[in-house]
Amino acid sequence: MTQSIRHGGNLGEAARRYAISLDDWLDLSTGINPRGYPVPPVAPDAWRRLPEDDDGLADLAARYYGAPHALPVAGSQAAIRALPALLRRGTAAVAPLTYGEYAPAFVRAGHTIATLDITQHDLPDTFDHVIIGNPNNPTAERVARDTLLRWHEQLASRGGTLIVDEAFADTDPASSLASETARDGLVVLRSVGKFFGLAGIRAGFVLAAPSIIDALRDALGTWTVSGPARHAVAAAFADTAWQRDTRERLHRDGARLAASIAIYGFDVRATPLFAWTSTARAPELHHALALRGIWTRLFDVPGTTPSLRVGLPGAEGDWARLSLALREICA
């Protein structure tokens, strides 16, 4: 029996553990935009009709991401589960602290897992596949495009694959490898859950060469993204004014969040959607915040220093609540 993988957003567990009503929590345990895209009303027939894969959503996504090809999937999670079985079995390298679904998915497909050092210039010859978040979740670390493209060349030369998870890249589109995904052996995963705040619709995209997209489409089958979800994504991708304003706001809010934690002496790394700190005090801080009804994400992975990820508050009252809690705890 495999151990379940922990994720943020598990507010029911927090409510039971701390005996605090669900309505009384401030959930900062994910990196989801708390002021998500305001989806326009869904046409009634979207609930009755089967989704149509040729409705233009793939082309719209390709234009939004600047990619040659795109495949809509039921969240990037669906691709994470299916991709390893489509790749030649070998050694897959993953950072020690990153999104927790990758290593188990590759193990299930018969691959061997190795540790990725994201600071290295060249990859070991023993690596067949590399999986990296850019920016990484939760450490907020970034790898330069030139480095990633060099890694891809090294892997592709031996029939390997570079998988780049860009779930948090919408706030900095220039850093994306989407435009390079016509290359064999390069896969970019994108999500509408984080920047657009639409995690509940379970929609994402795979950007890759046609051979990978066709194989994934065959593996996942039809109707992977619902009609209402397709409606929401199409509207969000078309609303460039909302995207521009939201990027500006998230950059301000991300810096504000990082500063509000760093002021108490913590070493903070951040993206515009979350802040992360690695400290032996992380379990204590996580627990103290939870006692005040503020739910954060604790990482206590063997071989790494405990760390805490804090998502963005939404309303000013939520910012004030977090600020007061930190002041009380750290005093």
Three-state DSSP class for 45? helix
| Residues 245 and 231 occupy one common structural domain | no
| Residues 234 and 246 occupy one common structural domain | no
pLDDT score at 156: 97
Question: Is 106 part of a structural domain of the chain?
Answer: yes
User: Has residue 144 got a pLDDT over 90?
Assistant: yes
Q: Measure CA 203 to chain center.
A: 12
- Of 223, 238, 253, the one marking the end of a domain is 238
For helices 240-262 and 316-330, angle between their N-to-C axes, nearest 10 degrees: 20
Give the pair of three-digit tokens for residue 79.
Answer: 């691709």
The pTM for the full model equals 0.94
| Residues 70 and 121 occupy one common structural domain | yes
pLDDT score at 142: 96
Q: How many domains are there within the chain?
A: 2
- Alpha-helical segments (H) within the chain: 11-18, 45-48, 57-65, 76-86, 102-108, 145-156, 210-220, 227-238, 240-262, 282-291, 316-330
Distances (CA, A) of 118 to 98, 101, 134, 178, 187: 11, 18, 10, 20, 18
pLDDT in tens, 226-243: 999 999 999 999 999 999
pLDDT score at 9: 65
User: Has residue 3 got a pLDDT over 50?
Assistant: no
User: Has residue 285 got a pLDDT over 50?
Assistant: yes
pLDDT mean across residues, the chain: 94
Average pLDDT over residues 288-297: 97
pLDDT in tens, 54-111: 899 999 999 999 999 999 999 988 999 999 999 999 999 999 889 888 999 999 999 9
DSSP assignment letter at 40: P
pLDDT score at 323: 98
Question: Residues with Cβ < 8 Å from 35, sequence gap 6 or more?
Answer: 197, 246, 249, 314
| Residues 190 and 285 occupy one common structural domain | no
| Residues 146 and 224 occupy one common structural domain | yes
Residues 277 and 268: their CA atoms lie apart, in Å, by 5
Range of the domain at 273: 11-37+241-330
Residues 265 and 276: their CA atoms lie apart, in Å, by 13
User: Has residue 1 got a pLDDT over 50?
Assistant: no
